[in-house]
A and B are shown apart, each in its own frame.
Chain A
Amino acid sequence: MYSDKKPSMEDTWRPAELKRHIGGERPGGENVRRRNDNERKPRGGESVERRRRDPEKESRRERDEQKERGSTKERRHDEGKDVYAKPKEDSRDRRSDKVRDRRDERDKERRKERDRPVDDLRKRDREDKHERDRDKERHRDKEKDRVRDRERQDGEERDKRKEERDKERRREERDKDRSRVEQDREHRSEREKRRHEESGDGGRDRVEKYDREQRERHRGRERPKDEREKERHGDRKHAEQKGEREHREEHKRHKEDRERRHKERGHDDQRQKHDAESRQHRDSKRPGEEKRHHRGDREQQQQQEREKQKERRHREEDDVEKKHRERRRREEEEDDDDDDARRIHKERSTSKKETSEKSQRHDTNTEKTEDVNDEDLADQEYEDDFEKVDYEEDFEDIDPSEGEDEKEPEFPQVEEGEEKDELTTQKRKEIEAIQRAMNEENERVGTGQSGHGTKRGEEDAPKLSKGSERNQSQASQRGRFIDFVAAKQREVSKKVATKQKKRSTELLRLIDLDFSMTASLLDLPPVNEYDMYIRTFGNANTKQAYVQCNEDNADRDIQTEEIEVCEKWTQHPPEYSGSCGDPNLSQEARDKNMNEINFDSQRLAAFLHSASQVMVVLLEENQAERKSLRKLRNQTDALSFSDGSAQLNTQLSFLYGRHISLVHFSQVQSHTMMSVHTPTTTPSAVRLDSCTIICIWNIWEPSRPQRILVYESEVQCCCFSPGKATLVFAGTSVGSVVLWDLREHAANHYCLKIGQDEWTFRQPTFSTDAVMASSGHLSSVSSVEVVPSTAAGGLRPEIPLLASEEESSGLSFQLASLDETGVLNFWVVVELPKASEAGSLTDLGLRPGGKVKLLHSSTLHTAERVSSRDAVKIGALQSLHLKFLPSDSNHFFIGTNMGLVRHGTSHSLKVPPKFYRFQEAGLRPVDVSSIHFSPFRPNLFLVGCGDGCIRLHVVSREQPVAEWSHSTAGERVVSLQWAQTRPTVFCVLDAGSNLHIWDLLKNDTKPVITERISADRVTAITVFGDSGKQNTYSGIALVHESGSIEMHYFTRDFTVSSCVEEEKLESMMTEAL
């Protein structure tokens, strides 16, 4: 029925339609297959489990209809448990399975190739069978036998494969089995019986179907090997069953020997289905289609056969449920025509049961067991496939397809050898058929390669088309090798990928991946402008310096105002042009200013100088008048000639105890007087005891001396400079000539403070001490005299004139000094233009800062001359006194100790008289104590002698004009002087302190007034007076023994002169001549 339907349907279809039909249906199956593939790929715990489950599901799909879900669930659980619980077993089993599987695969391929022609044959047979069935089933038995043989072959083939799979492990067992094969054949009946029992057991088992199947499956999972299952069966039944099983196996082997090819074919189809499926799936679709197509046909055949067998078996067993299932299956079969391999497999078994009713019982038994085994095996195959894939992937190097190709030749030989041993007639037939088919195939390959497209078009019959398609598929398998290589590569890559995925999934559990950190590989900052510039334009190793333009435009502020600077100068003490100045002023202005200053200062100084003098004098006069008035009143009685007197203040500490040896008035400055105080022996507070002190007085200022001069030794004589009394000359007892410059500043001299007053003691400005020893005096200097100016020429010099000359000539005059030996030295007084504070190297006698010095001019030895001529008469004359003729400086007069006055000239012819003698002839050893020329008649002079004799001489006569021998009563004339205001009056002081005043006009024989001063002896006198018109005064200074100096003014009688007096003198001179 069903078998009729199906072929008819197929028959009615044209090949193209059929192809289309299959192609249309295929996607579903393909999907399933793909799913299987996909599910197969994953590895690792869960995925493996899932993968295993899925094929089981598929296999269970049929079973589930008859079995309870719970059992499957349990089984699933068990499976999962087993997978995890027995990894070792798995691995071991896997290893064996792998080997087995590989072998199986090889077998499959080989058989497939072999079976194809057989399939063709079978198909043809099947069609024939259909025809026969339709007509009459007369060939039924034969066909059935064939089919049965085939089935048997299938079963044996399965067993054989099983054994081959287990060959390595079970080789020994198999050998044993083989040895028993003959025995087993003999005991076939017995085995059949047992088989029957077994089937009965099986029926029992079927009654207890759930439990048993569950257990079986369970065990099958636990021991996925067939032999184990068998063993299990054996174990489960009895010890005898082992023998039965052996018998069965032997029987199987027998069958296997006989029906190998058929079995191979049948079983191989199953096998090949997996392989082909995967391969087809991997390869191009066309071969897959074709394969599937003809496989489907084959399956149909096999299904029919198996259905027959199963029917047979079931019928024998009378299992109701099974029939139901079979029916259902049949119905399903219509729907799921080309569905799953698993399904087909089952259906095949069911359809076999239906169709093959005539099959032998033990055949069915074997078939049944084989079927059962087959089912398990199929499951196992699936599992093995998966595992195989696993292992193959683990072993990358092993290419399964290559292995197939390589090992293909090996097995066929072996199997063929086996085949030859047990060739049967049926097999020969089959071989013949196969050979035929191979021939056809070869022919078709030859044509197909040339152009199968046209061939395909020509082939109308489904047979041919099937054959051609199969050939094509074979050709594609063999001829188109490249496709497979690519496929293999893809497979390999896929395997690798899956393997890696598995690795990764496993490893990912063990390791932690993280974004560890973001590593900055390169951070190159942009180059700044400067570096860029330098890189572009600059030189290497140079540094560019920026220059800012307009930099000098910066503002600069100064907050402080500029300091005004003005240059001024000042000087103290003021010199030259003033004490202060301003260089900025113009020269004119400055000069004018300076002139004004100078003028003013000079005028002021001059005014002050004069005014001070005046004032001092006035004050002094007032004071002196009061004193003198009082004294005059006291002394009026005593001194008849005195009109009044004043006393110089000599009561000074440094003058205490000193005698006054000399007093002298300046000829020009009549009010200036000097007094020479001899050294004292009495010690005093002042350290000037051994020194001679010379005081310069202004008679109008009697209170104190103007200057105080100091010299270390005794001063014998002294004189003022001509003109103004600025210089003081002195001759000393040690033979030196010294001079003082009164103009020197007081600061340059030693200043001594005595009491409350300061006194300046002036050292000599110039001294000839030891400096001019060769040209100086060797004995004490008896007299120094200023040589009168020769210009006057015998005329009386005018004082103002002299002063003016002096001023103009600058102190240029001669000085003569005479010592006791008669040596007369002439000195030139020179005033230096500028004083040197440092002193002079050449002028060693000059005091530092001094401006006046003495130059030795000439020396005269007056005494020698005298002695040379008058040596016999006079002897050695001692020079005592020196006077120059005021009108002619060439003539000098020297008083001697013999009463003679020598007359000589310094640088001209001798002029008579040589000596001035007494009136009486002869020499008297008396000293000439004093010589004084008349201020009014220069050729008249008085000579006072030591014996009291006074003579009046005229220069031109040797004999005196008049001679007064006893006027002094024999007393030695100490000093005699003409009065300054009256020509005929002169004063004489004798040693007896008697002062005689002569007036020749009144009495030319005896003094007019003789005053005896006994209270305080007068040791020296000097006459002073001024013959000026407006203020004529005259007086005499008396030096007392006590050291006091009294100034007496003459009365009017002795002051005012008259013209009669000079006539009197003329008359007297003429009288004497």
Chain B
Amino acid sequence: MEASDSYLIRPHHQHKFKPAIVKECIREIVRERLSGVQYDPDQVPELSRSLADCIKDKVKNAGFDRYKLVVQVVIGEQRGQGVKMSSRCFWDADTDNYAEDIFMNESLFCLAAVFGSYYY
């Protein structure tokens, strides 16, 4: 089939990236996976990777069509230090969005951010 010159430059409303839903997804997964977990520097890379994959899969299934997802999971040890993270995106603010959730327990903090970028 040949693609016409017309592009779908806006997602359908119901397929739009909804941070609240995604945040819930993140929260569920992170809470489930990290509650009661102690920080272990050996396991954290694998853990964060698997978390990111898990979140990505879940968000994929959430039905955001034509969205490219970027999942970033940062797990750090909680030793009373100050942490500041911020993101800046060059994107189309009408279609793209992000959701993030923070999980903290005694020994670690975990930040999971999902950036959804609409693929036109």
Contact = CB atoms under 8 A, between A and B. Distances in A.
Interface of A: 91, 391, 394-395, 503, 506-507, 510-527, 531-532, 535
A513 B86 contact: no
A887 B104 CA distance: 128
A521 B109 CA distance: 12
A535 B93 CA distance: 42
A527 B80 contact: yes
Interface string B87-107: 111111111001010101000
Contact of A515 (B81, B86, B88): B88
B37 interface: no
B80 A518 contact: no
Given A394-B2, A512-B92, A522 B120 contact: no
A706 to B, nearest CB: 107
A916 to B, nearest CB: 135
A514 B93 contact: yes
A535 to B, nearest CB: 7
9 contacts: A91-B2, A511-B92, A515-B89, A518-B87, A519-B100, A521-B100, A522-B74, A524-B104, A527-B80
Contacts of B3: 394
A850 B98 CA distance: 112
B113 interface: yes
Contacts, number: 80
A515 B90 contact: yes
Interface residues of B, number: 30
B89 A516 contact: yes
Given A519-B89, A535-B80, 18 more contacts: A394-B2, A506-B7, A511-B92, A512-B92, A513-B91, A514-B91, A514-B92, A515-B90, A516-B89, A519-B88, A520-B85, A521-B87, A521-B102, A522-B84, A523-B85, A524-B84, A526-B80, A527-B80
Counting from the closest, the 8 A-B pairs by CB-CB distance are A526-B82, A527-B80, A516-B93, A524-B83, A522-B85, A521-B85, A522-B111, A520-B86
A784 B11 CA distance: 142
A643 to B, nearest CB: 130
Contacts of A535: 80
A912 B100 CA distance: 147
A457 to B, nearest CB: 52
A519 B83 contact: no
A195 to B, nearest CB: 41
B80 A503 contact: no
Interface of B: 2-3, 5, 7, 9, 74, 80-95, 98, 100, 102, 104, 109, 111, 113, 120
A513 B120 contact: no
Given A511-B92, A519-B98, A531 B113 contact: no
Contacts of A521: 85-87, 100, 102, 111, 113
Tell me what chain B mostly uses at the interface: helix, strand, loop, or mixed. Answer: strand
Contact of B80 (A516, A520, A532): A532
Contacts of A518: 86-88
A208 to B, nearest CB: 40
B35 to A, nearest CB: 17
Given A394-B3, A511-B120, A519-B98, A524 B89 contact: no
Contact of B90 (A394, A503, A513, A519): A513
Given A506-B7, A511-B120, A522 B102 contact: yes
B90 A514 contact: yes
Contacts of B100: 519, 521-522
A323 to B, nearest CB: 48
A518 B87 CA distance: 6
B86 A519 contact: yes
Contacts of B95: 511
Contact of A516 (B74, B91, B111, B120): B91
B88 A503 contact: no
Interface-centre pick from A391, A518, A524 (highest chain B CB count, 10 A): A524
Nearest to A503: B120
Nearest to A519: B87
Contacts of A395: 2
B36 to A, nearest CB: 15
Nearest to A523: B84
Nearest to A499: B3
Contacts of A527: 80-81
B97 to A, nearest CB: 9
A519 B109 CA distance: 18
